């Protein structure tokens, strides 16, 4: 059985996840060619190698075309429609929609609005769509059957937003982390973004602070934008084979959901990209991450 372990010792964000999975062996060409099926404003993907506290890692950025700036907002239903019409395989579509639904429901609850009316600023929508769909494509490419993750540090402190002074973790982030083990951290910064919270809470079948008993095949490091003191700001993705996990190992937490990871696909490839995001998910906060949620929530990449 093919297993993925997400080691979130420095938190998790959308761009860090994409980069870590690509660095661990996900097919970039497949990811890039499939992403072209999305009907979005022009953007470019950039990949580059960086060093974070002595650790070499892959950095992934989505760069918008300045000649064709986004001009409108997207609602949750618009994003669902774009993903469904793209023609991805069933696994990629299902994972992508599940992650976006997680975000939409959390934002809707926090702001007391129905899911279909959750509003994403255009820039944030493009960045989040790419991060989330690219993550699903990477999982598909790696042919992962089961996913585990470590406890997740969220960060602490406060952030000034349009609604006033908000705590870290952001309300929507914390909402999505219900049922997920949280790790302590001394960093008074946002360690886990809303997109990162949605990804790990949806994808992980179980959580365990330690590697499962498996044979390691590949390791990937995905870099965040920020530099942390005395700690590499990276997400580590570890891929391996674990036949005995079919009946043996029991992690400390049985997560409240499960999903099938079986699939098949044909890959046609070609591409290259990078990202330093401006995410507007319209929720009134700026998090030192250039991600916004129409409640102006800048998050996700400058983690």
Give the pLDDT of the chain (303 residues) as one tens digit per residue.
999 999 999 999 999 999 999 999 999 999 999 999 999 989 999 999 999 999 999 999 999 988 887 766 788 999 999 999 999 999 999 999 999 999 999 999 998 999 988 987 655 678 899 999 999 999 999 999 999 999 999 999 987 765 678 899 989 999 999 999 999 999 999 999 999 999 999 999 999 999 989 999 999 999 999 999 999 999 999 999 997 655 554 554 444 444 444 444 444 444 334 333 333 334 344 334 333 334 444 445 556
pTM for this model (two decimals): 0.81
Contact present, 232 and 222 (Cβ < 8 Å): no
Half-sphere exposure (Cβ direction) of 150: Cα atoms closer than 13 Å: 20
Contact present, 233 and 219 (Cβ < 8 Å): no
Contact present, 303 and 11 (Cβ < 8 Å): yes
């Amino acid at each position: 059985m093919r297993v993925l372990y997400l080691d979130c010792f420095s938190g998790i964000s959308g761009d860090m996840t994409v980069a870590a999975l690509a660095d661990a062996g996900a097919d970039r060409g497949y990811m890039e060619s499939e992403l072209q099926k999305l009907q979005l404003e022009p953007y470019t993907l950039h990949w580059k190698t960086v060093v974070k506290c002595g650790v070499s890692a892959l950095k992934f950025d989505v760069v918008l075309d300045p000649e064709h700036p986004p001009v409108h907002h997207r609602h949750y239903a618009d994003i669902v429609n774009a993903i469904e019409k793209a023609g991805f395989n069933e696994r990629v579509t299902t994972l992508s929609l599940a992650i976006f639904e997680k975000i939409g429901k959390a934002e809707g609850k926090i702001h007391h609005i129905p899911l279909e009316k959750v509003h994403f600023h255009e820039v944030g929508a493009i960045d989040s769509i790419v991060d989330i769909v690219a993550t699903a494509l990477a999982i598909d490419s790696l042919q992962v059957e089961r996913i585990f993750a470590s406890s997740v540090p969220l960060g602490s402190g406060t952030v000034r937003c349009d609604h006033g002074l908000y705590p870290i973790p952001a309300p929507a982030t914390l909402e999505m982390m219900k049922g997920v083990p949280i790790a302590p951290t001394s960093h008074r910064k946002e360690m886990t973004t809303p997109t990162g919270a949605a990804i790990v809470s949806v994808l992980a079948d179980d959580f365990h602070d330690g590697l499962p008993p498996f044979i390691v095949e590949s390791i990937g490091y995905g870099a965040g934008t920020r530099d942390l003191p005395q700690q590499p700001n990276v997400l580590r993705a570890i891929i391996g084979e674990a036949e005995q996990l079919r009946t043996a190992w029991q992690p400390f937490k049985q997560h409240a959901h499960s999903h099938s990871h079986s699939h098949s696909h044909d890959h046609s490839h070609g591409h290259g990209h990078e990202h330093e995001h401006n995410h507007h998910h319209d929720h009134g906060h700026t998090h030192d991450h250039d991600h916004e949620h129409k409640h102006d929530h800048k998050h996700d990449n400058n983690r």
